Amino acid sequence: MSDPLALLKQRNSAPRLTDPAPGPAELDEIFQAALRAPDHAWLRPWRFLTIGGERRAAFGALLERCLVARNPEADEAARAKARNAPLRAPLVVVAVVTLSEHPKVPHVEQRLSAGCAVQGILLATHALGYAGIWRTGDAAFDRAVMDGLGLGANEEIVGFVYLGTREGDPKPLPELATSDFVSAW
Ligand SMILES: Cc1cc2nc3c(=O)[nH]c(=O)nc-3n(C[C@H](O)[C@H](O)[C@H](O)COP(=O)(O)O)c2cc1C
């Protein structure tokens, strides 16, 4: 998509994703876009883990183990849902915020920056003709999942960003009235 404003206005998420995922050169473009997120003091408070191919099964096993640790009563359906979650797209990007202490940049700003980086990923993915969706859920806030992914004590999961090729038609996008959200003060 060559019109940047149209891209911004039309980006939307795709819950059903299939092959192909963006290739290595395209992923580099996508992450370069993410790295231009607004970032107070240029802390670069983010990093990204890519989980593709067979590694998705290992990630699914981690999600299942952590689900059972959180909820030992989880039935087989819930366990299978967790186990298979990463298989919903050919590529999962775990967006991580790396929090540091800075006199002028509170953690909330660092988390917001990392969120903007995720939006950069989604927009660049859309621009390249692929699709994605930002997901979280209980697993994203589970320290055992973070540990299993190798995150440090100062790091958190911002989202699981599923990337691939959209399956099915895009949904109709609602028209929102600017005036419902914007007023002069
Ligand atoms: C921080 C965050 C977490 C989200 N977590 C989930 C999730 O776990 N599952 C889900 O279906 N959608 C989740 N969403 C919403 C989707 O990413 C998406 O934005 C939503 O379905 C609206 O679709 P649209 O982006 O096409 O407008 C999350 C969005 C954000 C910003």
Q: What is the pLDDT of residue 55?
A: 98
Nearest ligand 1 atom to alpha carbon 122: 25
The stretches of the chain forming alpha helices (DSSP H) are 4-10, 24-34, 55-70, 76-84, 107-127, 143-149
Please report the atom of ligand 1 found closest to the CA of residue 140.
8
CA of 101 relative to ligand 1 center, distance in Å = 29
Give the residue among 54, 59, 90, 56 at the shortest CA–CA distance from 164. Answer: 90
Q: Which atom of ligand 1 is nearest to the CA of 133?
A: 17
pTM of the model: 0.97
Half-sphere exposure at residue 185, Cβ-oriented, CA atoms within 13 angstroms:
2
Predicted local confidence at residue 1, as pLDDT: 62
Name which CATH class applies to 20-51+89-168.
alpha beta
> Per-residue confidence of the chain (185 residues) as pLDDT tens digits?
679 999 999 999 999 999 999 999 999 999 999 999 999 999 999 999 999 999 999 999 999 999 999 999 999 999 999 999 999 999 999 999 999 999 999 999 999 999 999 999 999 999 999 999 999 999 999 999 999 999 999 999 999 999 999 999 999 999 999 999 999 99
Q: Which residue has the tokens 């419902």?
A: 180
Cα 150 → chain centroid: 17
For 106-113, which contacts have Cβ atoms below 8 Å and span 24 or more sequence positions? Answer: 109/40, 110/40, 110/43, 110/45, 111/45, 111/156, 111/158, 113/37, 113/38, 113/39, 113/40, 113/43, 113/45, 113/46
Which pLDDT score, from 0 to 100, does residue 2 have?
74
Give me 158's structure tokens. Answer: 């911002």
Collapse the DSSP code of 98 into the 3-class scheme (helix H, G, I; strand E, B; otherwise coil) and give the result: strand
| Domain ranges across the chain | 20-51+89-168
Instruction: Determine the distance from the C-alpha atom of residue 149 to the mean position of all C-alpha atoms in its chain, rounded to a whole number.
Output: 15
Greatest alpha-carbon span in the chain: 54
Question: Which protein residue's CA is at the shortest distance from atom 7 of ligand 1?
Answer: 135
> Which one-letter amino acid corresponds to residue 111?
R
Tokens (6 digits) for 151: 């995150």
Number of neighbouring beta carbons within 10 Å of residue 84: 14
Ligand 1 neighbours (beta carbon < 6 A):
12-13, 133-137, 159
Tell me, what's the pLDDT at 164? 98
Could you tell me the distance, in angstroms and rounded to a whole number, from the CA of residue 92 to the centre of ligand 1?
14
